[in-house]
Chains A and B, each alone.
Chain A
Amino acid sequence: MGRIVLDKVKKSFGEVTVIPPLDLEINDGEFVVFVGPSGCGKSTLLRLIAGLEDVSDGVIQIDGKDATDVPPAKRGLAMVFQSYALYPHMTVRKNIAFPLRMAGLDQAEQNKRVEQAAAVLNLTDYLERRPGQLSGGQRQRVAIGRAIVREPAAFLFDEPLSNLDAALRVGMRLEISELHKRLKTTMIYVTHDQVEAMTMADKIVVLQAGVIEQVGSPLELYSRPRNTFVAGFIGSPKMNLIGGAEAQKHNAQTIGIRPEHIEISTTEGMWKGTVGVSEHLGSDTFFHVQTPISEEPLTVRATGEMSLGYGADVYLTPRPEFLHRFDAQGLRIE
């Protein structure tokens, strides 16, 4: 149930190749997140898996069977769209029951399953409403409800939370994670929000221009990014990437150090710098420090509250065990 294998899958729109041949294995029950900058082909990849786009080349296997030419409805996958794509003229009950109705289940069975799903998603009180009378979060849950009643082999989510406000997003994030723990069904989740990626995923797939840059668990990606792109993409705030003479000292083209792995001191340290903007979050304070070793200011995290005036002199010391080194191709040096 729910093992998906992509073998040299390629997608072109006319002349433009959006996804060059790509291999990927998604194991049963895994929560896989596709992340990458806008336009890198995340949605396209998801739609290829769903069957909403035809592959230009390659093979998609679902549970060991070749599904490349299988129509979307027969792949046993359920998708939650960014716009939710609810049917506006149907009540919540009818929306959730729609896939069951299409599958020809009898009315009693439909009702049973809809009510089960509604109970899981806290939608019981809203079953007779239309989507237009629901809040964004409720609509989102209806869309998820419509997906879970089918008991699919895998769920596909395309940026399902991007239309919600920040607080609701955190709540829904937890709900989806919880749903995954309970159902233990494969989930593929597209997002460009890397906090979502880090918190929800068993496995993150980092994409750039249709190419997989790295696949791994969130902590693997965090602690051992395979190249400078992944290093800069994963982690918030971004890793500091430093080139030039300072990198040469470490026998690398580029070195990277995360903001949380730099000690900041007003008295002594390796790099001298001046404080620019500081961002106070309460739990942490982020300083943007201009140093002679790089053009870009370095971002430094201090835990808790710490006050340094604009233009103050500080000293920075990277913790050597957390220093990442990259070669001229941008690849990691162990």
Chain B
Amino acid sequence: MATKHSRSAARLMMAPAVILLLGWMLVPLTMTLYFSFKRYLPLRGDSLENGLQWVGLENYARFIGSSAFWPSVQATLVIVGGVLLITVVFGIFLAILLDQPFWGQGIVRLLVIAPFFVMPTVSALVWKNMFMDPVNGILAHLWRFFGAEPVSWLSDASVQSIILIVSWQWLPFATLILLTAIQSLDSEQLEAAEMDGAPPVKRFWFIILPHLSRAITIVVLIQTIFLLSIFAEIFVTTGGAFGTRTLTYLIFQRVVDSQNIGLGSAGGVYAIILANIVAIFLMRIVGSNLDR
């Protein structure tokens, strides 16, 4: 891509893709923005044909003013943060374990990756009915076996339960990325550190962890993008009750349950702003990490 000629050719070739992507992104975005300034209640007879009433910033004020808003932002951040923490920590741990040579390595690696292929709805249902059911769930049996009172997970520890379910889904992704990163570490570096007198814990801290820092930032970045919009897991388990109503879920309720498209769109715009704030933060970190 050195010459002027090849650069302009490249631009020309990329144009269709860029235009398609731009349209893909811009059309819904403009529509969301448009609706967010309108009163649009389909059940009350509002429709695009009749023209929608301009209400200015009223939807924005109402969305943010509702008592559900701040708790939903908090729930979103707690869930995203919790899942990130669990997947990164356990991902590193699993990656190190899987990197060791052991019998049946291939099968174990496959098993570790398996949860990633299960659809969110299915995995949430499996967790809800097979594990967390307070009467028939495996966990309830386990609790009773030890003579304890079964926990009704999804109501008493609802946020933790959601974090657990989502972490279970995303752990394979983190593990996989971190495993490839660990495998790319030059073993001579570890041997050099060993000769330099670093015991295993220090080798992890001074050599392996810095080597993984890029992979970790990538895991965090990609997961955050997807985790901000988790929906199915909440929909099929708690239905947004017990403090698990995230921003995404709140918007869904405004649009579908209360059939208020204008209000939901305003919420959507807030979600975009939140995502961008997080993205800028992450880009800063990633940027300084990837520069090296």
Binding site for B on A (CB under 8 A): 50-52, 71-73, 77-79, 81-83, 85-90, 98-99, 102-103, 130, 132, 146, 150
Contacts and interface: CB of A to CB of B under 8 A. Distances in A.
A76 to B, nearest CB: 10
23 contacts: A51-B195, A73-B195, A73-B196, A73-B198, A77-B195, A78-B195, A82-B188, A83-B186, A83-B188, A85-B189, A85-B191, A87-B189, A87-B192, A88-B211, A89-B211, A89-B213, A90-B210, A98-B193, A99-B196, A102-B197, A103-B197, A130-B292, A146-B192
Interface string B158-190: 000000000000000000000000000010110
A178 to B, nearest CB: 24
Given A83-B186, A89-B211, A52 B196 contact: no
B46 interface: no
A78 B192 CA distance: 9
A75 to B, nearest CB: 8
B207 A99 contact: no
A88 to B, nearest CB: 8
A50 B198 contact: no
Interface in B196-235: 196-199, 202, 206-207, 210-211, 213
A79 B47 CA distance: 77
Interface residues of B, number: 19
Given A87-B192, A89-B211, 19 more contacts: A51-B195, A52-B194, A73-B195, A79-B192, A79-B195, A81-B191, A82-B188, A83-B188, A85-B188, A85-B189, A86-B189, A87-B189, A87-B193, A87-B210, A88-B211, A89-B210, A89-B292, A102-B197, A130-B292
Contacts of B192: 79, 81, 85, 87, 146
Contact of A50 (B195, B210, B213, B292): B195
Nearest to B202: A102
A307 B207 CA distance: 59
Given A81-B188, A130-B292, A87 B194 contact: no
Contacts of B211: 88-89
Contacts of B292: 89, 130, 132
A102 B191 contact: no
A146 B206 CA distance: 16
Nearest to B207: A87
**Chain A interface, DSSP helix/strand/loop, else mixed:** loop
Nearest to A82: B188
Nearest to A52: B191
Contacts of A132: 292
A82 to B, nearest CB: 8
A52 B192 CA distance: 10
Contacts of B199: 73
A170 B196 CA distance: 28
B197 to A, nearest CB: 4
A73 B189 contact: no
A129 to B, nearest CB: 12
Most buried by A among B192, B193, B197, B202: B192
A146 to B, nearest CB: 7
A145 to B, nearest CB: 12
Nearest to B203: A102
A82 B192 CA distance: 11
B212 to A, nearest CB: 11
Nearest to A50: B195
Nearest to A89: B210
Which of B193, B194, B197, B213 has the most CB atoms of chain A within a 10 A radius of its CB? Answer: B197
Contacts of A146: 192, 196
A83 B198 CA distance: 19
A271 B196 CA distance: 59
A97 B115 CA distance: 44
Contacts of A79: 191-192, 195
Given A52-B191, A98-B206, A130-B292, A85 B186 contact: yes
Contact of A150 (B189, B196, B213): B196
A87 B196 CA distance: 12
Given A83-B188, A89-B210, A72 B198 contact: no
A325 B210 CA distance: 59
- The 10 A-B pairs with the shortest beta carbon distances in the complex, nearest first, are A85-B192, A99-B196, A102-B197, A85-B188, A73-B197, A89-B210, A81-B188, A85-B189, A72-B195, A102-B198
B195 to A, nearest CB: 5
A115 B192 CA distance: 21
Quick one: which of B194, B196, B202 has the most chain A CB within 10 A? B196
Interface string B278-292: 000000000000001
Contacts of A103: 197
Nearest to A73: B197
A214 B188 CA distance: 30
A77 B186 CA distance: 21
A83 B185 CA distance: 13
A82 B211 CA distance: 20
A82 B189 CA distance: 11
